Every structure is written in C-alpha cells, then in structure tokens.
Amino acid sequence: MSFHPTTQRLILRAPMLSDEHDVVRILNDFDVAKNLALVPVPFTEEQFRSRLMDIERNRRAGVEFLFAVTRAMDGAFIGMCGVERLETNVWEFGYWYGKPYWRQGYATEAARAVMRFAFDDLGAVMLTAGWFVDNPESGRVLEKLGFVGTGTMQRHCVSRGTEVASNRMLLTRDEFARKKAA
C-alpha cells in the first residue's frame, strides 16, 4: 500500500535513513520526548535505525503506518504522524513534531490526511489517541480533529521514568465522516 499524500503545506512519506539526524535531534529535546510514552532520552542513532526497521516491517505486515511529515516548500523534516492497529478495525493515532513547528497548524493538517487514510483505506472503524495531562495543546489538537474524551488512565512515560496521567480519546468513522461533511 503506497500512501504519500500532499496537503496544502505538507508532504507525508515513509521515514528514511536520511531522516536520522532530524529525528534524533528532535527526540532528544526533553520537551518533545516527555510527551511520548515510549521514547527514551537520550534517543540514539542506533535506536532510530532499529525503529526504522520496525516501521518498515510493521508497514509490510499492515499493522502500523508511520509517516515522516515534511514541509512542501523546503522539504524540512518536521515530525511524524501515524496509526498502529490495536485490534481489528481499531487503530491508535499519534504524532510528534519538533518544537520550532509547534502552534503552526501542522499537526492538524497532517492528522487529517492520516485519519482519512485510516478510515478510507485501512477500514478503521475507530481511532483512539491520548495526551498527557500536562500537554493540553495536544488535547486541543485532538478535539479540533473531532476526538472526544473517554477517561483518564496512568501510562508509563519512558523519558520521565514514571507513570503520568493520560487523557484517552476516541473518534469513530461515522463522526469523522460527519465532521468532514460539515
């Protein structure tokens, strides 16, 4: 399955080895890593290469689709966005961006393309997502996309080395279609 959408300002593509420097630099910013459950700090080149192999293997298996998000105007790597299958027709949605790219609408713009892919091409019936309670900006992005809260749970954050309260959210295919039609 080949998916390389272009939005007004962005190009989404498969992550590549040439992204190593940008990914490692961005994920070693604690302000980024602390908002992700599974990212250690420091994050190394070796960890990137291992993760890149996992991403490709999981894409071929049809269980994870993670996209490098780049700006169309200059090709700058700004972050990643994707979905991972949790169970039949239920996928977890997630994203991260480098701090220089926060609050510019990139997360919402890329997310809409990935969500459309998940619902239309992967047959997702439901997307789940979450955000740590001390990252309300991410919660606002998810709400803008149509996600609704389903509760709070404790989730381990590797970079923080502790459990952190995480707000859980949900978006159904029907609600996505209604929002898209509006």
d(CA 85, CA 66): 11
Q: Residue 16's domain spans which residues?
A: 10-181
pLDDT, tens digit, for every residue of 66-103?
999 999 999 999 999 999 999 999 999 999 999 999 99
What pLDDT was estimated at residue 180?
75
What three-state secondary structure class fits 162?
Answer: strand
Give the Cα separation of 171 and 44 in Å (integer).
34
Residue 4 included in any domain: no
Residue 98 DSSP label: -
Helix (H) or strand (E) holding 139: helix 136-144
Q: Which of 182, 160, 176 is nearest to 33 (CA)?
A: 160
In a domain, residue 87? The reply is yes
Separation CA 104–CA 81 (nearest Å): 15
Number of folded domains that form the chain:
1
Is 5 within a domain? no
The DSSP call for residue 119 is I
User: Is 95 contained in some domain?
Assistant: yes
Q: Which residue ranges in the chain fall short of pLDDT 70?
A: 1-4, 181-182
Residue 111 lies in a domain: yes
Q: Which residues contact 25 (CB under 8 A, 6 or more apart)?
A: 98
According to DSSP, the residues that pair with 128 across neighbouring strands are 92, 170
Which tokens in the block code for residue 60? 């071929």
Q: How far is CA 2 from the centre of its chain?
A: 18
Q: What are phi and psi of 34, to 5 degrees?
A: -65, -15
**With the C-alpha atoms ordered 151, 152, 156, 157, is the resulting torsion angle positive or negative?**
positive
Residue 112 lies in a domain: yes
pLDDT at site 7: 87
In this structure, what CATH number is given to the domain that contains residue 145?
Answer: 3.40.630.30
Does residue 2 belong to any structural domain of this protein?
A: no
Q: Is residue 135 part of a domain?
A: yes
